[in-house]
A and B are shown apart, each in its own frame.
Chain A
Amino acid sequence: MSIDMKDLYQDVIVDHNRTPRNFGKIDHADVSLEGYNPLCGDRLTLYIKFDNDTITDISFDGSGCAISVASASLMTEALKGKTTEQAEKVFNDFHHLITDEEPELDIEKFGKLAALAGVRDYPSRIKCASLCWHTLNGLLEGNRSSITTE
C-alpha cells in the first residue's frame, strides 16, 4: 500500500468505520436531524440529548462510506459532555483542519479527530468527512428539517 493511502485510511478511521461508536438511535432524543450527501448517497441521522446547554448524549445511525462513518463516530466521541458553545468551536476548528491548505491549528488538541486531517488532500472526499459536522451545525442552528451537502 502506498504511503499516501495510509494517510487517508489510518487505523483509527478503519477501526471507527468497522465498529462505529455511539451508533444507533437515542430514544427520547431532544433533537435529531438527517444529513444527506446526494453525490454518494451517504445518509446519516444525528441524535442529541441536552442538559441545559450541555450535550449529555449524542449518537448517529445511517450508512455511508468509511470516511463519513468514521467522522461521525469520532465526532460523537469528541462532543459528548461538551457545551453547545464548545461544540461550535470544535466544528469551526475541524472545518479549518480539513479544508485549509495549511491550517494554523495545533493538531495535538484534536486528539483522534486529527486522523481525518488527511482528507484535505482528497477534495472529492471532504464532503464525506464533513457531512455529520454540517448536520451537527444545522442542529445547533435550530434546523429541524434535513441537511444536504449540496
Chain B
Amino acid sequence: MTAKSLMKQATQTVTYDIEKIRDDFPILKQQVNGKPLVYLDNGATAQKPQQVIEVLDQYYREYNSNIHRGVHTLSEKATGAYEAARLKIKNFINAESIQQVILTSGTTASINLVAQSYGRSTLKQGDEIIITEMEHHSNIVPWQMLCEQTGAKLKVVPINDKGELIMEEYESLLNDRTRLVAVVHISNALGTINPVEDIIKLAHNRGIPVLLDGAQAVPHCPVDVQALDCDFYCFSGHKLFGPTGTGVLYGKKALLESMPPWQGGGDMIRTVRFDETTYNDLPYKFEAGTPDIAGVIGTGAAIDYVSAIGMDNIAHYESELLAYATEIMSAIDGLTLVGTADNKAGILSFVMKDIHPHDIGTILDQHGVAIRTGHHCAMPVMERYEIPATARASLALYNTRDDIDHLVEAINNVRKVFA
C-alpha cells in the first residue's frame, strides 16, 4: 500500500462517526427480550435511518398523489420527487442516463424482467445461460422458467471449498451457444465478492452480455456500472436502507431499446387504440402501473444518506469489522465459518458442531441478537457443503465491535445450553 492510500485510510477511519450513524436509526435503540437489540440480519433487509422515515412521512402527509398523470400541484410535486430519486440512483451507480434506470419492485422483479423480456425474445432451443452455484434462488428460478419456455439450457459454474468461483470452469463453459451470463456480485450466503470484472471481460470477448445481481453489493461498496461494463445490474432498495417494495434494473441502452415490454398497462404506453398500441420510451416502457412512489422517493433519501457517509468509507469500515469478527469467531470451539473467500464482504455464515442453526437462532434472539438461520434462498449452496442450513450474521454500516462481542457472548451461551 502506498503512503498516500494509507493516509487516505487513516482520515477515512477518523471521519467515520459511528455514534452519529447509530443515532440516525431509531429502531436500533430498542430492547428485544430484555436485551439491547443487536441487529445482524442486514443481508435479509437493512434498517432505515430517520432521514428515510421522515421522507416517507412527509410524502404521505403533504403530497401523496399519482405521478406522470396529473396537472395538479400535488401530482407535479410527487412526479418531481419521484424523478429526482431516479436521478439520484443514476448518479449513485454512475449510469449514463436516467433512461437506463428502470424502477421495479426489487431485485427479483428486475431479474424476471430481463428473463422474460430479453431472454424470451432472444433465446432459442439449445442456447445456454450460465449462472453459478452460489446464486440466490431469484437468480436461478427465473432462468429455469425461461429454459422451460424456450428450450434453452442452464449451465452452472461450480465453487471451491472456500466459496470462490472456479474461474477455469467458467471459462470452459463459455461457448458459441452461450447467450447470457447471470452472476451474483456478492453472495448473500457466503459473502464472496466475485471477480465480476474478469467474468464480464471473458464473456464480452465472445459478445455475450452479463447480468449482475447486486442485491448484496450496492449497500456495502461503490458500484460503477460503466466501469464494470456490465450489461444489466439489479438491486433492491430495502437492503440499501430504503423502504421495501423498490428495486432497480440498470441496462445498457441498446439492449433495453431492443427489448419488448414485459408487463402491459398504464404509464408504459404512448397511445392505446384497439387496433394498435404504441409503447412509451425508456425507462417508462418497462414501468407499467402505479409504482411504489413513496418507496422510490425513500430510496432516493437512502442514497443521499449513504452517499453523505461515502461508499468507500462504508466499505472500509465494514471490512475492518469483518476482519475483527472473523478472527474472534474462528477462535470459538466447534464453530466453522462457511464461506472463507479471500475477497469477502461482511457476511458470516457459520455452523456449530452438533447444534442445529435454528437452535442457535432462537437462543441468540433471546439475547437480543438478530441473525438469520436457514438456507438463505440458496439451497444449492447448502447442498454443496452438505449442510441443511447455516446461521448467518450479516453486517451493515451501523454495526460495531460491541455488536460482534455480544454475538460471541450469545454464541457461548448456545454452547452452554447444549453442553
Contact = CB atoms under 8 A, between A and B. Distances in A.
Interface of A: 1-2, 4-5, 8-9, 14, 17-18, 39-43, 63-67, 122, 124-125, 128
A39 B374 contact: yes
Interface in B220-262: none
Contact of B388 (A2, A14, A41): A41
24 contacts: A1-B413, A2-B33, A2-B34, A2-B367, A4-B366, A5-B363, A5-B366, A5-B413, A5-B417, A9-B417, A9-B418, A14-B417, A14-B418, A18-B418, A40-B356, A41-B374, A41-B382, A41-B389, A43-B388, A64-B356, A65-B357, A65-B358, A66-B355, A67-B359
B416 interface: yes
Nearest to A8: B362
B373 interface: yes
B33 A41 contact: no
A122 B364 CA distance: 13
B413 A65 contact: no
A66 B366 contact: no
B356 A66 contact: yes
A63 B388 contact: yes
Contacts of B382: 41
A18 B355 CA distance: 10
B374 A40 contact: yes
A42 B388 contact: yes
B359 A9 contact: yes
Interface in B359-384: 359, 362-363, 366-367, 373-375, 382
Interface residues of B, number: 22
A123 to B, nearest CB: 11
A40 B366 contact: no
B417 A65 contact: no
A9 B363 contact: yes
Contacts of A5: 363, 366, 413, 417
Interface in B388-419: 388-389, 413, 416-418
Given A2-B34, A67-B359, A41 B417 contact: no
Contacts, number: 56
A17 B366 CA distance: 20
Contacts of A1: 413, 416-417
A118 to B, nearest CB: 11
Interface string B115-142: 0000000000000000000000000000
B362 A122 contact: yes
B362 to A, nearest CB: 6
A2 B418 contact: no
Contacts of B367: 2
Given A1-B416, A4-B33, 4 more contacts: A2-B33, A2-B367, A5-B417, A125-B362
Given A5-B417, A41-B375, A41-B389, A67 B363 contact: no
The 9 nearest A-B residue pairs measured at CB: A41-B388, A65-B356, A65-B358, A66-B359, A5-B366, A9-B417, A40-B358, A41-B389, A65-B359
A64 B375 CA distance: 13
A99 B374 CA distance: 23
Contacts of A66: 355-356, 359, 418
Contact of B358 (A4, A14, A43, A125): A125
A83 to B, nearest CB: 33
B90 to A, nearest CB: 38
A98 B4 CA distance: 62
Nearest to B366: A5
B386 to A, nearest CB: 11
A128 B373 CA distance: 13
Nearest to B34: A2
A63 B387 CA distance: 10
Contacts of A9: 359, 363, 417-418
A90 B275 CA distance: 66
B88 to A, nearest CB: 37
A14 B414 CA distance: 12
Contacts of A17: 418
B36 to A, nearest CB: 14
Interface string B339-365: 000000000000000111111001100
B366 A128 contact: no
A62 B340 CA distance: 28
A5 B33 CA distance: 11
Nearest to A39: B374
Contacts of B373: 40
Contacts of B357: 40, 65
A145 B375 CA distance: 24
Interface string B140-179: 0000000000000000000000000000000000000000
Contact of A40 (B355, B388, B413): B388
